[in-house]
């Protein structure tokens, strides 16, 4: 109950932090927030050209509407990467403010993850544009694409809470996370079909949360099908597990932050 009262009391601060992050990110940029649309669009064009032409169409030829396939994977994975990376540094960067006034510390990783979610929603405009250009049919069921994104948001929040507390005590995590994200990029079927992997590697994908979120999002947006039961269970369990673990670690360690920041 106290947590809910704190959240309600500081809701305007949360909104201001998200708004500030948007302004800071696009400050002195001629196109401003349009880069949230242009960035995934330009990256999709570059990677489509690389995998379709430079590799003699071996990567993209077996995938119907490869640009949409690629962009759906990029959108989901970038949402995870951006949100967790920003959340990881949120407590450290808020140190001057935390030393002056009392603010619930979870507000800072929550604001970063929420800002990442807003960016993801803007990136959806690029996805819709690519779907229109490539002739990808739209279906009412595509609207369910928000479901895996919301579950991913909760997953990102759990991971962000854990990282933001852990990095206060172990700064090396920042460097490790960069390497981990790079490895996870290639371990997740973003620009290739999972069927390309050997059978033993495919079995490991079941333990990759990003595989489930990417697959569930594509199931709804690209293939216009309801999420499978396995996808729903896996994505929900990952979100709940991350929230429980991340929230527990953050709560247990937050009182010691002031001694290390």
Q: Each residue's pLDDT tens digit in the chain (261 positions)?
A: 556 666 667 777 778 887 877 767 666 655 556 656 666 666 666 666 666 655 544 554 567 888 899 899 999 999 999 999 999 999 998 888 888 888 888 999 999 999 999 989 888 888 888 888 888 999 999 999 999 999 999 999 999 999 999 999 999 999 999 999 999 999 999 988 888 888 888 888 999 999 999 999 999 999 999 999 999 999 999 999 999 999 999 999 998 888 887
The pLDDT of residue 191 is 86
pTM: 0.89
The pLDDT of residue 37 is 64
Q: What whole-number distance in Å separates Cα of residue 144 and Cα of residue 257?
A: 39
The pLDDT of residue 64 is 80
Task: Indicate the burial class of 161 (C-beta count within 10 angstroms; 0-12, 13-18, 19 or more).
Answer: buried
176 CB contacts (<8 Å, ≥6 apart)?
none
How distant, in Å, are the alpha carbons of 119, 189, 249 from that of 220?
20, 16, 34
Stated as kind and residue range, the H or E segment containing 82 is: helix 66-88
- Taking phi over 0 as left and psi of -120 to 50 as alpha, with beta for the rest, 224 belongs to left
- Neighbouring C-beta atoms of residue 261, cutoff 10 Å: 14
Task: Indicate the burial class of 127 (C-beta count within 10 angstroms; 0-12, 13-18, 19 or more).
Answer: buried
The pLDDT of residue 89 is 93
189 CB contacts (<8 Å, ≥6 apart)?
73, 197, 205, 211, 214, 215
Instruction: Identify the CA nearest to 126 among candidates 54, 219, 33.
Output: 33
DSSP state string for 108-150: HHHHHHHHHHHHHHHHHHHHHHHHHHHTPPP-GGGGGGHHHHH
> Which structure tokens are listed for 151?
């579950």
Packing angle between helix 146-169 and helix 229-253, nearest 10 degrees?
A: 30
């Amino acid at each position: 109950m106290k947590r809910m009262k704190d959240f309600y009391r500081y809701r305007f601060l949360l909104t201001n932090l998200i708004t500030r992050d948007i302004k800071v990110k696009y400050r002195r940029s001629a196109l401003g927030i349009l880069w949230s649309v242009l960035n995934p669009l330009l990256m999709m064009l570059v990677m489509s050209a690389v995998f379709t032409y430079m590799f003699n169409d071996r990567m993209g030829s077996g995938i119907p509407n490869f640009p949409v396939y690629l962009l759906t994977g990029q959108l989901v994975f970038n949402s995870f990467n951006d949100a967790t990376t920003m959340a990881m540094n949120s407590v450290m960067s808020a140190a001057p403010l935390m030393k002056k006034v009392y603010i619930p510390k979870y507000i800072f990783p929550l604001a970063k993850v929420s800002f990442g979610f807003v960016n993801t929603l803007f990136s959806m405009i690029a996805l819709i544009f690519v779907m229109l250009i490539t002739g990808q049919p739209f279906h009412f069921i595509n609207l369910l694409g928000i479901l895996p994104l919301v579950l991913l948001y909760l997953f990102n929040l759990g991971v962000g809470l854990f990282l933001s507390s852990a990095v206060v005590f172990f700064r090396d995590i920042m460097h490790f996370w960069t390497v981990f994200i790079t490895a996870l990029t290639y371990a997740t079927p973003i620009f290739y079909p999972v069927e390309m992997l050997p059978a033993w590697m495919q079995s490991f994908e079941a333990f990759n949360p990003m595989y489930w979120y990417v697959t569930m999002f594509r199931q709804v947006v690209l293939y216009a099908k309801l999420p499978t039961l396995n996808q729903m269970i896996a994505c929900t369990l990952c979100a709940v597990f991350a929230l429980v673990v991340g929230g527990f670690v953050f709560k247990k360690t937050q009182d010691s932050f002031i001694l290390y920041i």
